[in-house]
Amino acid sequence: MQIAVLTFDGFNELDSFVAAAILNRLRERGWEAHITSPTPQVTSMNGATIERQRSLDFATDADAVIIGSGIRTREIAADAALLGAIRLDPERQLIGAQCSGTLLLAKLGLIGDLPACTDLTTRPWVIEAGVEVLDAPFVAHGNVATAGGCLASQYLAAWIIARLAGPREAEAALHYVAPVGEKAVYVDRAMAAVRPFLPVEAVAAPA
């Protein structure tokens, strides 16, 4: 599985790095999550400059895509040329967005009139884009999911793993990163957010 973690200038480190790290727990199974950006370098909201791993066109061919948030998302949402370079297909790909990434998903026409999740700061902008915003950390409609809050990145990663590799693999990845002494509670809580949005056959899979 090849996964694009869309990361733009001004990005939130928690969105991109936490999701990518959890997804890459499945590297032995051939999974790779890549920091994917429109420019060779991007600088985070806290001033950390990193090299991209894949260019933006990689997102078109990826099996799954996560759109992270950042302090420049409204500028990106107004950049027609940049939005036009993001070509995603919810029929073929799993697509997730976090916080202000939900605004980009709305501008790309991938939410429609379905309710979505986002952070409190972005909420009015997403509503202005015509999307109903839920008071919830995670929601999925078919192959499109949205999450709200920086630490909700774990839910997007768990959803993608559960959809493409099964709930047991998602639980194992979460268990690895969870705090010692809180692992069972952490995994149970994260999977409780994700499990209602998994296909019946995945939820019913034997433990």
Q: Where are the domains of the chain?
A: 2-203
- Whether 121 has a pLDDT exceeding 60, the answer reads yes
| Residues in contact with 10: Cβ distance below 8 Å, sequence separation at least 6, in sequence order | 43, 44, 45, 70, 71, 72, 73
d(CA 161, CA 163) in angstroms, rounded, equals 5
According to the model, what pLDDT value does residue 202 have? 60
pLDDT single digits (tens) 152-200: 999 999 999 999 999 999 999 999 999 999 999 999 999 999 999 998 7
Cβ 133 vs Cβ 37: under 8 Å: no
For domain 2-203, is the CATH number 3.40.50.880? Answer: yes
Across the chain, where does the E strand assignment appear?
Answer: 2-6, 32-37, 41-43, 49-51, 54-55, 64-67, 94-98, 138-141, 144-147
CA angle, residues 169, 175, 177, in degrees to nearest 5: 110
- pLDDT on residue 203: 55
Angle, vertex CA 73, rays to CA 89 and CA 69, nearest 5 = 70
Query: How far apart are alpha carbons 59 and 129 in whole angstroms?
Result: 23
Q: In the numeric block, which tokens belong to residue 87?
A: 């070509």
pLDDT at 167: 97
Q: How many CA atoms, within 13 angstroms, populate the side-chain half-sphere of residue 15? A: 34
pLDDT at 200: 75
- Phi, psi (deg, nearest 5) at residue 27: -60, -35
pLDDT higher than threshold 60 for residue 206 = no
Q: Which residue has better confidence, 7 or 206?
A: 7
Q: What is the pLDDT of residues 90-103, one digit of tens each?
A: 999 999 999 999 99
Q: Is the distance from CB of 196 to CB of 136 less than 8 angstroms? A: no
Question: DSSP class of residue 17?
Answer: I
